[in-house]
């Protein structure tokens, strides 16, 4: 915080600790980041990261398996059971969508056929109208 | 706060007060960060046109009828919240398109749950996208529309357009990785001998959103972690700093979406490791996905300093598509700078809208 101008002899009792490390950080960010980036770009880093992930996954799998066994023992649906129900609902929705697709395709074909039929009927009606007019003209 | 030099030992209360006020801005940092989760985002009014599972197709409401004939369908990446394209008033690509007279649709993939573990990219491209496109066309009453995909969404719409080119008038790709032969650090971190993808999706039906987010942060480790808060601390001293804007962006960055296990496995194996899309060996529904089948006009927007979709993944897209009318816009900046920020709204978005107008 800045000193009020009428009290020039005052100084900060508690220099801002954040400000202190911020200055250190800002002065070194680029260099530190470049070093980190270089280290993270190496195949050794990728391999180590993979190994770490494998370890975490292994622990996670053990915990999940134990929990599943426990829940099954006490007759409580597991997370997988509930997910399976959700999958069945999604599969049902997909079937409804497929029916919707087929219905729409049929409707489109039906509408196209209807348009063609109406157009054909119009042509025939005009042709027969012309024929009747010609007959009337002859008779007249 | 400060103390008077004349008093050799300040009272404990004065000392406490001094510590408190000296660090007031640090408290503002905490307030800004904690308040970010409630930052208003995606506020442009919209209506739901279609739903499937967690996916939702929205149509943005217009005050006046669209003046452009071809609607635009925006397709987002699977791992991000969809509101990035409509972040907040004044920083919204959606609003920019609406302002230029376009009818705008957006496909939000939603947030998958464990029940979506078998949802793969093939299903998204062959079951979800065709229906979303049909529903958007029906809602707009048009035969063709423009598809615009961002990041992974761009790869998805490229696959879709290659398989079903009929209803697509134009294709726009925003930092969409297509070629993975040289895929940067993501490529090396997810390489076959380094990344246990099968074990990962076996344990996690949906890969936690924090994992791709961590990967993105590791691309630029210090500025994207510690640097975020240090820069915020600096900016909070500036009265003109837009805290609400920072909070909206912070919220988006930290609100990752889980990746369905099967889709993540396919993304890593068939796209990153085997580069099947660019090689023309990707098969969906028994059909080859050949980018050469894309004949519509294509606009490829790439970022020069993109670490997530580096130039090696976006640079050869135009040479792979079969279109005669194709253009690339290379903008300065990173992966996210294309969809938010002043440079995007002042320069890129008007250029994209101009291109869309010319191809309307």
**Contact: B19, A14; criterion CB under 8 Å:** yes
Distance CA(B205)–CA(B166), nearest Å, equals: 35
Cα distance between residue B324 and residue B87, in whole Å: 34
Is A21 an interface residue toward B (CB < 8 Å)?
A: no
Examine the pLDDT at B248 and tell me if it is beyond 80: yes
Going by their DSSP bridges, the two strands B145-150 and B168-174 should be labelled as: parallel
B318 contacts chain A (CB < 8 A): no
Q: Taking a C-beta distance cutoff of 8 angstroms, is the pair A52, A59 a contact?
A: no
B222 vs A33: CB contact, 8 Å cut-off?
Answer: yes
In the predicted structure, residue A5 carries a pLDDT above the cut 90: no
Q: According to the model, what pLDDT value does residue A2 have?
A: 44
Q: What is the mean pLDDT of residues B150-156?
A: 96
Each residue of B50-88: pLDDT tens digit?
A: 999 999 999 999 999 999 999 999 999 998 899 999 999
Average pLDDT over residues B23-42: 86
The pLDDT, as a whole number, for residue B29 is: 85
pLDDT higher for B181 or B22?
A: B181
| Chain A residues near residue B113 by CB distance under 8 angstroms | 83, 86
Per-residue pLDDT band for A15 (boundaries 50, 70, 90) equals low
> Given A3, A87, A94, which is nearest B2 (Cβ)?
A3
CB contact under 8 A, B5 and A10: yes
Predicted local confidence at residue B183, as pLDDT = 85
* pLDDT number for residue A7: 45
N-term to C-term CA, chain A: 111
Report which DSSP code applies to B265: H
Q: Does B227 reach chain A within 8 Å, measured CB to CB? A: yes
Nearest-Cα distance to chain A for B56, in Å, is: 14
For residue B74, what is the enclosing H or E element?
strand B72-75
pLDDT band, residue B215 (cuts 50/70/90): confident
Nearest CA to CA, how far is A70 from chain B (Å)?
17
pLDDT at A53 over 80: yes
Percent of chain B with pLDDT over 70: 94
Select from B280, B315, B257, B318 the least CA-distant residue to B109. Answer: B257
Q: What is the mean pLDDT of residues B33-44?
A: 91
Q: Does residue A2 or residue B293 have the better pLDDT?
A: B293
Q: Compute the mean pLDDT over every residue in chain B, rounded to the nearest whole number.
A: 90
Summarised one tens digit per residue, pLDDT across range B317-350 is 999 999 999 999 999 888 888 888 888 888 999 9
Cβ–Cβ < 8 Å for B251, B39: yes
Residue A3: per-residue pLDDT: 47
Alpha helices in B64-178 (DSSP H): 93-99, 121-123, 129-140, 152-163
Q: Domain boundaries in chain A?
A: 17-76, 79-140
pLDDT band at A86 (very low <50, low <70, confident <90, very high): very high
| A9 has pLDDT over 50 | no
Size of interface A-B (CB pairs under 8 A): 131
Helix %, strand %, coil % of chain B (to 5):
45, 15, 40
Q: What is the mean pLDDT of residues B215-238?
A: 86
Return the SS3 of B284: strand
Quote the pLDDT of residue B235: 87
Whole-number pLDDT of residue B227? 87
Query: Do B10 and A3 make contact, defined as CB atoms within 8 angstroms?
Result: no
Segment 139-198 of chain B within 8 Å of chain A by CB: 185, 188-189, 191, 193-196
Q: What is the pLDDT of residue A6?
A: 46
Contact flag A10-B114 (C-beta cutoff 8 Å): no
Nearest CA in chain A to B113: A83
B220 interfaces chain A, CB cutoff of 8 Å: yes
Contact B199 A57 (CB under 8 A): yes
Residue B259, helix vs strand vs coil: strand
CB-CB under 8 Å, A85 with B220: no
**pLDDT at position A23:** 84
Give residue B65's pLDDT: 93
Q: Where are the alpha helices (DSSP H) in chain B?
A: 12-22, 24-35, 93-99, 121-123, 129-140, 152-163, 184-189, 197-203, 210-218, 226-235, 243-253, 261-266, 276-279, 311-314, 317-320, 342-343, 349-358
Q: Does B116 touch chain A (CB under 8 A)?
A: yes
Q: Are B167 and B136 in contact (CB under 8 A)?
A: no
Whether B224 and chain A come into contact, CB under 8 Å, resolves to no
Query: Which residues in chain B are contacts of A43 at CB distance < 8 A?
Result: 188, 194
Cα–Cα distance measured from residue A128 to residue A125, given in angstroms and rounded to the nearest whole number: 5
**Which tokens in the block code for residue B338?**
């294309």
Instruction: Mark yes or no for CB contact B116/A61 under 8 Å.
Output: no
Mean pLDDT of B237-266: 91
The pLDDT score that the predictor gives to residue A1 is: 40
User: According to the 3-state scheme, what is the secondary structure of chain A?
Assistant: CCCCCCCCCCEECCCCHHHHHHHHHHHHHHHHHHHHHHHHCCHHHHHHHHHHHHHHHHHHHHHHHHHHHHHHHCCCCCHHHHHHHHHHHHHHHHHHHHHHHHHHHHHHHHHHHHHHHHHHHHHHHHHHHHHHHHHHHHHC
Q: What is the pLDDT of residue B224?
A: 85
User: What mean pLDDT do residues B184-194 have?
Assistant: 88
In this structure, what token pair is assigned to residue B92? 């919204």
A8 pLDDT exceeds 60?
no
Do residue B1 and residue A12 have CB atoms under 8 angstroms apart? yes
Tokens of B288: 């080859």
Tokens of A53: 């992930």
pTM of the model: 0.86
pLDDT of residue B2: 46
pLDDT at B226: 87
CA distance A83 to B115: 4
> Cβ of A94 and B127 within 8 Å?
yes
User: How many Å lie between the alpha carbon of B115 and the closest alpha carbon of chain A?
Assistant: 4
Measure A139 CA to nearest chain B CA, in Å. 51
Of A9, A22, A47, the CB nearest to B5: A9
Report the distance separating Cα B330 and Cα A102, nearest Å.
Answer: 43
Which single residue is written with the structure tokens 């391999």?
A47
Cα(B170)–Cα(B326) distance, integer angstroms: 10
Mean pLDDT (whole number) for A50-67: 94
């Amino acid at each position: 915080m800045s000193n009020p101008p009428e009290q020039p002899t005052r100084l900060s009792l508690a220099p801002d600790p954040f400000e202190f490390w911020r200055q250190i950080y800002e002065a070194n960010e680029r260099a530190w980041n470049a070093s980190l980036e270089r280290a993270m770009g190496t195949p050794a880093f990728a391999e180590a990261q993979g190994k770490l992930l494998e370890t975490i996954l292994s622990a996670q799998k053990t915990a999940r398996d134990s929990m599943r066994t426990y829940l099954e023992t006490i007759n409580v649906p597991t997370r997988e059971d509930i997910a399976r129900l959700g999958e069945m609902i999604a599969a049902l929705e997909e079937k409804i969508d497929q029916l919707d697709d087929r219905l729409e395709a049929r409707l489109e074909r039906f509408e196209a056929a209807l348009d063609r039929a109406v157009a054909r009927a119009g042509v025939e009606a005009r042709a027969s109208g012309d024929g009747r007019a010609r007959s009337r003209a002859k008779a007249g | 706060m400060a103390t008077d030099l004349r008093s050799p030992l300040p009272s404990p209360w004065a000392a406490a007060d001094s510590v408190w006020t000296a660090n007031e801005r640090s408290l503002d940092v905490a307030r800004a960060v904690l308040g970010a989760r409630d930052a208003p985002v995606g506020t442009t009014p919209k209506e739901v046109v279609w739903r499937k599972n967690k996916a939702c197709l929205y149509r943005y409401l217009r005050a006046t009828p669209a003046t452009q004939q071809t609607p635009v369908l925006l397709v987002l990446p699977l791992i991000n919240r969809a509101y990035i394209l409509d972040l907040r008033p004044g920083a919204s690509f959606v609003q920019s398109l609406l302002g230029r007279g376009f009818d705008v649709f957006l496909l939000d993939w939603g947030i998958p749950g464990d029940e979506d573990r078998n949802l793969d990219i093939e299903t998204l491209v062959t079951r979800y996208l065709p229906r979303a496109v049909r529903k958007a066309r029906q809602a707009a009453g048009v035969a063709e529309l423009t598809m615009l995909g961002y990041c992974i969404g761009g790869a998805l719409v490229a696959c879709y357009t290659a398989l079903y080119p009929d209803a697509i008038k134009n294709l726009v790709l925003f930092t969409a990785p297509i070629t993975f032969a040289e895929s940067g650090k993501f490529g090396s971190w997810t390489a076959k001998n380094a990344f246990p993808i099968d074990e990962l999706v076996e344990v996690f039906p949906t890969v936690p959103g924090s994992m791709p987010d961590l990967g993105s942060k590791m691309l630029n480790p210090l500025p994207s972690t510690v640097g975020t808060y240090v820069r915020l601390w600096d900016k909070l001293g500036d009265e003109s700093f837009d805290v609400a804007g920072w909070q909206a962006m912070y919220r988006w960055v930290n609100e990752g979406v889980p990746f369905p296990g099967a889709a993540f496995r396919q993304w890593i194996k068939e796209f990153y490791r085997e580069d099947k899309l660019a090689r023309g060996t990707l098969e969906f529904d028994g059909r080859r996905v050949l980018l050469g089948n894309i004949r519509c006009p294509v606009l490829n927007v790439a970022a020069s300093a993109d670490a997530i979709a580096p130039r090696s993944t976006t640079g050869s897209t135009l040479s792979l598509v079969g279109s005669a009318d194709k253009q690339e816009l290379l903008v300065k900046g990173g992966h996210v700078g294309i969809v938010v920020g002043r440079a995007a709204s002042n320069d890129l978005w008007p250029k994209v809208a101009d291109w869309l107008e010319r191809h309307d």
